[in-house]
Amino acid sequence: MGWNNKVLRVNLSTGSMSVEPLRMDWARDYLGQRGLATKYLVEETDPKVDPLSPDNKMIMTTGPLTGTEASTSGRYSVVTKGPLTNAIACSNSGGFFGAELKYAGWDMIIFEGRSPKPVYLSIVDDKAELLDAAEIWGKSVWETEHWVHKKHHDPLVRVATIGAGAEKGVLYAAIVNDLHRAAGRSGVGAVMGSKNLKAVVVRGTIGMNKVKDPVAFHAASEAAKKVLADNAVTGAGLPKYGTQVLMNVINEIGAMPTRNWREVQFEGASAISGEAMYEPRQSDGKPNLVRNGACFGCTIACGRISTIDPTHFSVQGEGKERYKHASGGLEYEAAWALGSDTGIDDLDALTYANFLCNEHGLDPISFGATVAAAMELYEVGALTKEQTGGIEFKFGNAEALCKAAELTGKGEGFGLELGLGSRRLCEKYGHPEFSMTVKSQEFPAYDARGIQGMGLTYATSNRGACHLRSYTVASEVLGIPVKTDPLVTDGKPELVKAFQDATAVVDSTGLCVFTTFAWTLADFQPQIQAACEGDWSMDKLNEVGERIWNLERQYNLDAGLTAADDTLPKRLLTEAAKTGPAAGRVNDLGKMMPVYYELRGWTADGKLKPETRKRLGV
Amino acid sequence: MQRSLYIDPQKCTGCLQCEMACSYENEQAFNPSKSRIKVFAFHEEGRFVPYTCTQCAEAWCLHACPVEAITKNPATGAMEVNEKTCVGCKVCTIACPFGTVNYNTATGKVIKCDLCQGDPACAKACPTGAITYVDSSWTGLDKMRAWAAKANTAA
């Protein structure tokens, strides 16, 4: 099996810790990581719990393939109830932290309660300790990692931490590991902050040798690596341009949400694209992109490592030295949210804001989208310069974006209001219709008028608006695994369901969903089968994916969400796209939703039918 | 033909597949902390550099060892540690100018790259060709070729 069979349970209220075996009976039904941790959360907490109360739990979890030689094996997830959405939150991160946790001999950490004072958890193999975090409370992610390496006299410790924003309740605060990899969405960092838990720092020297059939596993992982290498997206496009390969593509098909989704094409897209990151700048002749970088075990290496133009306004003045070095650069989602959605085409300003999101632990999607909403509020006069502390939130104002990132990252001034997220901000200032969210979580970078299936994806995503729950862009735009017409709704409910179930499996393995540009479940299956005890046939995997989806759904229903929450903002349903191939179109969600509910085995009001519950054992 | 590990840092993405492969070959576990090759990430410069033993012809480690636990494998040219003879005195770890011989606290012996008996696992696992196993007499061949390609001679 791919497990250490060892769970660390940490009661932060009492400071006590205990070790327990992994529930292998649950692992058989939920595989690992996303699925298995959700099962733990469902069994152990009340879905109605206040996400920021001590009664909520936060689970950090690896998958069975985390830390193995399989490509992209660095993944871990954080599962909890999210404060942004009041729904299930499950955020997945790469980097090196997840594998290190596995190598220290653990599969999962369950955090309960709330520490009476700031602490951090230190794990060195089987030794786990809660240590005083007074010195790092209020510090940034980058400062905290530096401090830990110095304090522990060990540069090899892997650090997952929150910034000051999370401590002050920024509702989309992330947990950042390895300086610029994040469990980014749904505010899992805010939950960590509410528990007075600053960081988890891990050093693992035990390693992992529990793969069931090492020979078969090696053969399966080698074959799967070759599929990634030979594929045009994972073998060439992603290493070269990262996810930013999409910027021009999505803009051309008229699905690039622009200026808070008022438009669907951005005139500045090429200036902030993956291609633009290769253009030498005038000041020092260097391009934005230094090189690509990989997460642990990843043979794709889509990560961007970038620098900011040293003459750019954002890096002038005192205390800005740290932004003049290379760090994690723009990926498509961040470039879109910080750029197109705010109407800003200044690549260096976006890179700076992205650095700050990493440095302070903010989800750049929700942050950028909230700034975009603030800009619309400002433009109609609902938000004034007096209220923003002097910042002119005009679309296209790069200086406003940079200032907003500084304030929100530290949880200061108007940044605290931006930290509420777009729904709460827009409600506060009297225009809830400006909030481009589902279940209070901000949209990612694909306009649902130009890619119809994404409308259903967003409306039904269990963690609020998200592209990573069923990335039908793959089919509707890129033709993976088969091309479907992005402007047609027929067949999309089937597509969305299939992608949702398959992605739930992928997120439960310990491997990265980006492999699915090249892999189907059939490429995962032999790897899972060789690593894990028991039957992991394709049929079983499909069933597990469906079970996970329905378990999350049931959690949300029990938390108080209803079918009324499975919808889109009015703008997408009534304001037609103005330009591009989708001009004149809205999202036809109403045509897709009843078919989707039926396919899911749910009632017309979105509840699991008894036979569905019985079939899946939910 | 004797071969050497040839490392091209420009091609390295820092994925650590080499460290996993090395540890699995030598320790039968995926365990980068026991890898004989290490990848260094210079984060602020955006550089990744794999580093391991270069198998010195006149090896400091071999000469420093008081019990002659380090010997040269004539087939591969690798300086190998005989675990049975090694007493864990760590003098070789001090003698090595490059830091590539290290002490394994779990076994009380030192570990270093032995080129996997002529079939190095790191080179096989590297997905980008940053680590290759090439003719020891011509480790500069690729660089020479690259420069030769730039020679502006008429066809």
CB-based contact, B15 to chain A, within 8 Å: yes
Give ipTM to 2 decimals.
0.96
Burial class (CB in 10 A: 0-12, 13-18, 19+), B150: exposed
pLDDT tens profile B77-123: 999 999 999 999 999 999 999 999 999 999 999 999 999 999 999 99
Q: What 8-state DSSP symbol labels residue A324?
A: G
Distance CA A111, CA A89 (A): 15
Go through A361-373 and write b for each residue having 16 or more CB atoms within 10 A of its CB, e for each that does not: bbbbbbbbbbbbb
Asked if A325 lies within 8 A of B44 by C-beta distance, the reply is yes
Are residues B33 and A307, on separate chains, in Cβ contact within 8 Å? no
Residues of B in contact with A99 (CB under 8 A): 32
Residues 6+ apart with CB under 8 A from A91: A77, A78, A174, A175, A182, A183, A184, A185, A186, A188
Who's near B142: CB < 8 A, 6+ residues apart?
B6, B8, B134
Using an 8 Å Cβ cutoff, are A559 and A87 in contact?
yes
Chain B interface includes A307 (CB < 8 A): yes
> Per-residue confidence at B153, pLDDT binned at 50, 70, 90?
confident
Cβ atoms of residues A322 and A142 within 8 Å: yes
Cβ-Cβ contacts under 8 Å, A326 against chain B: 43-46
| Structure tokens belonging to residue A339 | 């750029």
Assess whether pLDDT exceeds 80 at residue B6. Answer: yes
Buried b / exposed e across A315-349, counting CB within 10 Å, b at 16+? Answer: beeeeeeebeebbbbbbbbbbbbbbbbbbbbbbbb
Fold of the domain spanning B56-112: Alpha-Beta Plaits (3.30.70)
Q: Which of A103, A294, A325 sits opposite B15 (nearest CB)?
A: A294
| Every domain of chain B and the residues it spans | 1-52+116-155, 56-112
Asked if the bond preceding A481 is cis, omega within 30° of 0, the reply is yes
Say if the Cβ atoms of A69 and B31 lie within 8 Å: no
Convert A177-207 into a string of H (helix), E (strand) and C (coil).
ECCCEEECCCCHHHHHHHCCEEEEEEECCCC
- State how far the alpha carbon of A46 is from the alpha carbons of A80, A399, A438, in Å: 11, 44, 23
| Interfacial A residues in 128-187 facing B (CB < 8 Å) | 156, 179
Supply φ then ψ for residue A34, to 5 degrees. Answer: -55, -50
Inter-residue contact A101 to A199 (CB < 8 Å): no
CA angle (A137, A140, A143) in 5-degree steps: 95
Provide the 3-class DSSP secondary structure of residue A536.
Answer: coil
Q: What is the pLDDT of residue B152?
A: 77
Please answer yes or no on whether A292 and B13 come within 8 Å at the CB atom: yes
Residue B46 at interface with chain A, using a CB cutoff of 8 Å: yes
Are B43 and A68 in contact (CB < 8 Å)? no
> Is B155's pLDDT higher than 80?
no
Query: Mapping DSSP to helix (H, G, I), strand (E, B) and coil, where does residue A411 land?
Result: coil
Taking CB atoms and an 8 Å cut-off, how many pairs form between chains A and B? 86
Instruction: Please state whether the predicted TM-score (pTM) of the whole model is above 0.95.
Output: yes
**What DSSP assignment string belongs to A458-486?**
HHH-TTSS-SSS--THHHHTT-SSS---T
**How many residues can be counted in chain A?**
618
What are the residue ranges in chain A where pLDDT is below 50? Answer: none
Asked if residues A41 and A554 have their Cβ atoms less than 8 Å apart, the reply is no
The CATH number given to B1-52+116-155 is 3.30.70.20
Single-letter amino acid, residue B61: C
Q: What is the distance between the terminal CA atoms of chain A, rounded to a whole angstrom?
A: 24
Inter-residue contact A151 to A13 (CB < 8 Å): no
Helix (H) or strand (E) holding A109: strand A108-112
Evaluated on CA atoms A327, A332, A333, A335, the torsion sign reads positive
Give yes or no for A286 touching B (CB within 8 A): no
Decide whether B1-52+116-155 matches B56-112 in CATH topology.
yes
B123-148 pLDDT, tens digit per residue, is: 999 999 999 999 999 999 988 999 99
Q: B46-65, pLDDT tens digit by residue?
A: 999 999 999 999 999 999 99
Q: Which of these, A540, A398, A373, A544, lies nearest to A30 by C-alpha position?
A: A544
**Residue A2's pLDDT is what?**
86
Spatial distance between the Cα atoms of A243 and A239, rounded to a whole number of angstroms: 9
**Is the CB of A299 less than 8 angstroms away from the CB of B28?**
no
As a whole number of angstroms, the distance between CA B98 and CA B49 comes to: 14
Mutate which: A149, A240, A291, vs B, most B CBs within 10 A:
A291
Backbone phi, psi, residue A37, to 5°: -65, -35
B131 min Cα distance to partner chain A (Å)? 14
Q: Cα–Cα–Cα angle for A164, A167, A171, nearest 5°?
A: 100
Among A548, A616, A462, A488, smallest CA distance to A82 is for A462
For A446-573, list the strands marked E by DSSP: none
Cβ–Cβ of A207/B31 closer than 8 Å?
yes
| Rounded CA separation A104/A76 (Å) | 14
- The token duo for B43 is 């984060």
CA atoms within 13 A on the CB side of A175: 35
The CA distance from B76 to B118, in Å, is 6
DSSP H stretches of helix in A74-159: 97-103, 141-151
Number of H helices, E strands in chain A: 24, 17
Torsion angles phi and psi, residue A29, rounded to 5: -95, -25
What is the pLDDT, as a whole number, of residue A412?
A: 96
Q: Report strand pairing: B70-72 vs A303-306.
A: unpaired
Q: Is A296 within 8 Å of chain B by CB?
A: yes
Q: Provide the residue count of chain B.
A: 155
